[in-house]
Amino acid sequence: MNAPARPDARRNASPYLYGLENQAIARVLEGGQYGHTGITEEFERRIAGFLCVPDAVAVASGTAALHTALLAAGIGPGREVIVPSMTFCATVQAILAVGATPHFADIDPATLCVSDQLVLDAVTDKTAAVTPVLFGGRPVDLSAIQKELDERGIVVIEDAAHAFGSRDGTRRVGANGSAVTCFSFGPIKNLTCGQGGMVIPRTPSEADTIRRSRLLGVAQSQDERANTTSYRVEGFGLRYQLSALNAAIGLVQLDGFQAAEATRRHLWRTYRDALAPLGDVTLIDVDVDQAVPHLCQVRVPHRDAVFANLRRRDIGVGVHYPPNHTQPAFAAWHRPLPATEQAGEEILSLPFHQHLTEEDIDLVVTSLDQALKAAGGS
């Protein structure tokens, strides 16, 4: 059997494995217990230690992390959650899943993220939470308005699906103590479990609520249930636990994360330098000295024509994301968001994953330059 080809510029994103994931999965398979086990709890402890936080609660996906975090914060019907429209639809679906309504906020055109002033501009009497999206891995600092949010009883629930490992000053994202932080460990994230997520709670009470919610409302741990003839179901819950198979992958990934940080920053800076001579291209700033980049995005004229040209050249460009406030499912909450709408017509995600080489990036940028010239002359 031939070895699979190395993922290159034909792929927009691709998982990166460090070589021991297969062995880790095999050990779990041989052990015969594939659900939530001590391996899942070891992964939680290791993530908490990496972030220097008291606790971390593993769940089945980033969407499950957002859903359970909203439940733990008491967000429900009749309340609004401020959320940027520029995000994956999962962020909005999690808000709807608890019966709350999204209140879409506009973005800073340079970062594609909300700012403290944009958040305050969106606050209403019904606002119960704000969910900043750490787009592309960029930290979002709301510390300047944290006191006002606290006084209004508005909780910050970070969608940090793109931002595992990024720093907010001297601390990793998730460690500021004033926000509930939600990570995704999906297939193409900075750290992958194959599929998975993690919530960093603010308090032991929130952690307990999330642990119950991820296992159908059952209060007792697996070890406790194994030594008793009954258990208690204390409230609403779903089957959101992270399997040992996924946690085993995550443990190997965490061991290799220092390489992920260095490689992703190097690739993003390589793109930055290569793109600099292209006058029609604006690189989205991820604050690379603080972020572990998840995306490399540019704004370009004639985006749709450029996209089609590059796809014909077998360059794996993508678009992250079509704005949510223009989607049929969320039409009831549409409001004018000029910066988001303009970005939605211009953004282009370049191939970005740890398999890329500098030669791949040179090919992407050369092809982009040619596609821009072709689009401008059409």
Could you give the residue numbers annotated as active site? 189
What φ, ψ does residue 214 adopt, rounded to 5°? Answer: -80, -10
Spatial contact of 107 and 118, defined as CB atoms under 8 Å apart = yes
Cβ neighbours around 115 below 10 Å, total? 20
Identity (one letter) of the amino acid at 304?
Answer: D
Q: Which helix (H) or strand (E) holds 32?
A: none
For the chain, state the CA radius of gyration: 21
Strands 155-159 and 127-130: parallel
User: Cα separations (Å) of 153 from 103, 105, 306?
Assistant: 16, 19, 45
Beta strands in 20-154 (DSSP E): 57-59, 80-84, 101-105, 127-130
Of 185, 368, 369, give the one whose Cα is nearest residue 294.
185
Q: Do 82 and 129 form a contact (C-beta atoms < 8 A)? A: yes
> Residue 227, SS3?
coil
CB atoms within 10 A of CB 89: 14
